[in-house]
Amino acid sequence: MKRREFSKAWTSGLAVSALGLTQAPLALAQAGGGSAKAGTDYLVLDKPAAVESAPGKIEVVEFFWYACPHCNAFEPRLEDWVKKLPKDVAFRRSPVAFRNDFVPLQKLYYTLEALNLVESLHRKAFYAIHVEKQQLNRDETVLAWAAKQPGVDQAKFTDTYNSFGVSTKVRKATQLQDAYKLAGVPALGINGRYYTDGTLAQSMDRALVVTDQLVAEQRGKNKS
């Protein structure tokens, strides 16, 4: 979804098609011949963005919003890709906030992360919004949803959700999306230097192929 679409997302029941996300993976040669090109398939950042990966690691960031239908459609494909990443690639997610009412979902993700609940509840958050049509755009609705999930300590979840640590991560996530000059979600940032998304790469499947190429290039630079 591009930024201009977000103003309609909640009120339209999130009925936006995730065009191009369910296609089979495309080789770069199939989609245009040869390697991915800067300025066409991906963008090079004017100023490097901050990375959190350890020295020698190549960081890949997925920018997402739980209420984005494209992100929901992309998630299964992304999970398969992440499972096959080489050991020198550090993957992390960064929830975006293009408006103030995005912040509760940012806080939701970082609370799940802090409590080691991403594996069990990340996909359920997408399901709650896109299948059950829950409006998780306020603190109280997010906390009410979390309280109903198996294995969640309501008091601990609420304390973490409202903690300084989560607020700090939310602030840094918003700074990161600005550093990458994010146009929409889902999108991918590579090692604080490159940016690609479904519009640039023609689909999110192909964006993963572009990302693989850029990771390989960074690996070569690290060894030189």
| pLDDT tens readout for residues 73-116 | 999 999 999 999 999 999 999 999 999 999 999 999 999 999 99
pLDDT of amino acid 12: 45
For 43-97, where are the E strands, in sequence order? 43-44, 58-64, 89-95
- Residue numbers of the domain that contains 138: 41-223
Q: In this structure, is residue 191 part of a structural domain? A: yes
CA separation for the pair 112, 109 (Å, rounded): 5
Q: Is 4 domain-assigned? A: no
Q: Are 190 and 176 in contact (CB under 8 A)?
A: no
Nearest to 14 by CA among 67, 65, 63: 67
Q: What is the number of helices (H) and of strands (E) in the chain?
A: 9, 5
**The domain that contains 152 carries what CATH number?**
3.40.30.10
Phi, psi angles (nearest 5°) of residue 59: -90, 135
What pLDDT score was predicted for residue 11? 45
In a domain, 1, yes or no: no
Pinpoint the alpha helices (H) of 40-192: 69-83, 103-114, 118-130, 139-147, 154-161, 164-179
Question: Is 5 inside any structural domain?
Answer: no
Q: Is residue 110 part of a domain?
A: yes
Residue 8: inside a domain, yes or no?
Answer: no
d(CA 213, CA 37): 10
Q: Is 43 helix (H, G, I), strand (E, B) or coil?
A: strand
- Tally of domains within the chain: 1
Query: What one-letter code names the amino acid at 129?
Result: I
Is there a contact between 63 and 187 (Cβ–Cβ < 8 Å)?
yes
The residue type at 160? T
* 8 A C-beta contact, residue 97 and residue 171: no
Question: Any idea what the Cα angle at residue 177 is, between residues 173 and 183, rounded to 5°?
Answer: 150
**Distance (Å, whole) CA 101 – CA 134:** 14
At CA 57, angle to CA 53 and CA 59, rounded to 5? 55
Partner residues linked to 64 by β-bridges: 95
Please identify every stretch of the chain with a pLDDT value under 70, giving residue numbers as ranges.
1-34, 224
35 falls within a domain:
no
**In a domain? residue 119:** yes
